[in-house]
Structure 1
Amino acid sequence: MNDPFEDGNGRYLVLTNTTGQHSLWPVSIDVPPGWDVVHGDDTRQGCLDFIDAGWTDMRPRSLSTF
């Protein structure tokens, strides 16, 4: 069984939650409650590039205001 989270040839989404954290998510798996799609169907590398460009502060939003 292949791990859908590690498929170099798979298609992915970028999700974000209410604390501003991001997740790489396979398009073949339903988006979990509490997460929203912020970058649509793309390659794994395309999604990683999107995350690298836009998520520069890894702290949850509640901690990043200090």
Structure 2
Amino acid sequence: MNENDVDNRTYSVVVNEEEQYSIWLAGRSLPAGWNEIGHTGSKTECLDYIGEVWTDMRPKSVRQAMDARG
């Protein structure tokens, strides 16, 4: 890896209404339907955070439908 490959940018962890997580460059306008959750850091830090908190990858609507069926 050369020095041009180093990503020193700051990212924000974002979540949509289906409770799916992603990262977004801090300070940029978010796409419709996504909200910042207050966690920022390097790309690695944000992805590590998502790995800790997003333990059920199913969208919220799928989880709710499955729970309703019992």
Normalising by the smaller structure, the TM-score range is 0.7 to 0.9
Residue 55 of structure 1 pairs with residue 41 of structure 2:
no
Range 15-24 or range 39-48, more displaced: 39-48
After TM superposition, what 4+ stretches of structure 1 lie above 3 angstroms from structure 2?
Answer: none
TM-score using structure 2 length: 0.73
Kindly, what percent of the aligned residue pairs are identical? 35
Shift of 1:62: 0.7
Separation in 2 of the partners of 1:10 and 1:50? Answer: 16
TM-score under structure 1 length normalisation? 0.77
Q: CA deviation at 1:28?
A: 4.0
Larger strand share, 1 or 2: 1
Q: Which residue of 2 aligns with 1:45?
A: 44
- Partner residue in 2 for 1:64: 63
More helix by share: 2
Give the greater-gyration-radius structure (CA). 2
How many residues of Structure 1 are paired with residues of Structure 2 in the alignment? 60
Two-structure CA RMSD over aligned residues (Å): 1.6
Structure 2 alignment gaps of length 5 or more: 1-5
Structure 1 regions of 5+ residues with no counterpart?
1-6
